[in-house]
C-alpha cells in the first residue's frame, strides 16, 4: 500500500476512534511510524486529509444510491440501499459526528457537501418513485415525495447526534454499528403510512428488526419512548 493511502486509512481510523478534533497530523504520523515531514509531503494539512476522506465517502454513497434501470424495485433492493448507506455512515462516522464544525472550517468541503446533499436527495426521491412503480408504496405527489426524501436524509445524517444525546452516559467512540443501524427503523417508519396492503406486513416485519432500544430512565424521569405502551419511537404504530 502506498504511503498516501496508508495516511488516509490511518487518519480515518483515528478520527473514528478518537474524534477528528482530538487527532493531529503528528498523531497520524506517529501512528504510522513516519516523520511529520513525510506526511506533509503527501498532504499540506489535516484539512486536506479530511477533504480527501470526504471525497472517498461521497463516491461510496453515490455508488450505493445508483438506481438500476430496466426492472422493478424489490424489498431486497430497498434494504440494500439502507444497509449500505448506514454502513458508509459507520465507516466514516467521524464526519457526521462533527459535521457543522468541519463544514464551517473548510469552504471546499462546505460547497461539495451541499452538492452531495442535493444528489442524495434526488436519489432518495427516485427510490421512492421506484417503490411507487413497484407497488410498494402508494403514488404520491412530487411535493410529498420531496418532503419524505428530506425527512429520510435528516434521519440518516442526524441519527448519530441523536444517539449521543439519548445515550449520554456513553462516549461517541463506544457507540456500535448495531445502534447506528437502528436508524433504519426510523427511515422505514417514514413510509409506513404510504405502504400498499400487498407490502405492508413484509415491511413492518423488516422494520421490527431495527427497533431502537433506548436507555432505561432514572427514577422520576419520563418513560422512554419504546416503553410507552406499544407506541413506536416515531409515534407511528
Share of the chain above pLDDT 90, in %: 77
Please indicate, yes or no, whether residues 17 and 117 belong to a single structural domain of this protein: no
CA torsion sign for 194, 161, 209, 63 is: positive
Please indicate, yes or no, whether residues 162 and 209 belong to a single structural domain of this protein: yes
Please indicate, yes or no, whether residues 65 and 138 belong to a single structural domain of this protein: yes
Q: Is residue 161 part of a domain?
A: yes
Please indicate, yes or no, whether residues 170 and 210 belong to a single structural domain of this protein: yes
Q: Chain centroid to CA 175: how far?
A: 14
Please indicate, yes or no, whether residues 88 and 32 belong to a single structural domain of this protein: no
Q: If pLDDT is split at 50, 70 and 90, which confidence band does 236 have?
A: very low
Enumerate the β-bridge partners of residue 195: 137
Please indicate, yes or no, whether residues 24 and 59 belong to a single structural domain of this protein: no
Please indicate, yes or no, whether residues 117 and 38 belong to a single structural domain of this protein: no
Q: Is residue 214 part of a domain?
A: yes
For residue 36, give Cα distances in angstroms to 6, 10, 22.
14, 14, 17
Q: If pLDDT is split at 50, 70 and 90, which confidence band does 219 have?
A: low
pLDDT (tens digit per residue) in 31-72: 999 999 999 999 999 999 999 999 999 999 999 988 878 889
From the list 96, 13, 23, 97, the residue with the least C-alpha distance to 61 is: 96
Overall number of domains in the chain = 2
The pair phi, psi for residue 137, each rounded to 5°, is -125, 160
Residue 101: pLDDT over 90: yes
Please indicate, yes or no, whether residues 123 and 153 belong to a single structural domain of this protein: yes
CA distance 153 to 190: 11
pLDDT on residue 224: 45
Please indicate, yes or no, whether residues 144 and 33 belong to a single structural domain of this protein: no
What is the separation, in whole angstroms, between the first and last Cα of the chain?
Answer: 50
Share of the chain above pLDDT 70, in %: 87
Go through the chain and tell me how many residues it has: 237
Q: Tell me if 123 sits within 8 A of 67, measured CB to CB.
A: yes
Three-class DSSP category at 68: coil
pTM for this one? 0.84
Q: Tell me if 206 sits within 8 A of 171, measured CB to CB.
A: no
pLDDT (tens digit per residue) in 131-178: 999 999 999 999 999 999 999 999 999 999 898 888 766 665 678 999
Q: Is residue 233 part of a domain?
A: no
The CATH number given to whatever domain includes residue 191 is 1.10.357.10
pLDDT on residue 1: 85
Query: What is the residue-wise DSSP string for 19-42?
Result: -GGG--HHHHHHHHT--HHHHHHH
Boundaries of domain holding 12? 1-44
Please indicate, yes or no, whether residues 124 and 164 belong to a single structural domain of this protein: yes
Amino acid at each position: 500500500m502506498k504511503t498516501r493511502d496508508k495516511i488516509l486509512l490511518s487518519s480515518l481510523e483515528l478520527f473514528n476512534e478518537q474524534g477528528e478534533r482530538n487527532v493531529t497530523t503528528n498523531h497520524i504520523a506517529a501512528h504510522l511510524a513516519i516523520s511529520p515531514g513525510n506526511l506533509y509531503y503527501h498532504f499540506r494539512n489535516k484539512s486536506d486529509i479530511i477533504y480527501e476522506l470526504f471525497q472517498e465517502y461521497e463516491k461510496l454513497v453515490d455508488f450505493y444510491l445508483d438506481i438500476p434501470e430496466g426492472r422493478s424495485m424489490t424489498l431486497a433492493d430497498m434494504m440494500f440501499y439502507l444497509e449500505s448507506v448506514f454502513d458508509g455512515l459507520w465507516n466514516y462516522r467521524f464526519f457526521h459526528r462533527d459535521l457543522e464544525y468541519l463544514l464551517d472550517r473548510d469552504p471546499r468541503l462546505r460547497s461539495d457537501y451541499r452538492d452531495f446533499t442535493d444528489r442524495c436527495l434526488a436519489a432518495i426521491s427516485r427510490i421512492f418513485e421506484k417503490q411507487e412503480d413497484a407497488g410498494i408504496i402508494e403514488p404520491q405527489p412530487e411535493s410529498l415525495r420531496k418532503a419524505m426524501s428530506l425527512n429520510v436524509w435528516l434521519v440518516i445524517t442526524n441519527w448519530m447526534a441523536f444517539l449521543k444525546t439519548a445515550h449520554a452516559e456513553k462516549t461517541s467512540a463506544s457507540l456500535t454499528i448495531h445502534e447506528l443501524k437502528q436508524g433504519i427503523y426510523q427511515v422505514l417508519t417514514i413510509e409506513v403510512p404510504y405502504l400498499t396492503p400487498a407490502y405492508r406486513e413484509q415491511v413492518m416485519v423488516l422494520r421490527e428488526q431495527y427497533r431502537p432500544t433506548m436507555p432505561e430512565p432514572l427514577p422520576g424521569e419520563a418513560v422512554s419512548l419504546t416503553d410507552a405502551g406499544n407506541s413506536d419511537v416515531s409515534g407511528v404504530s
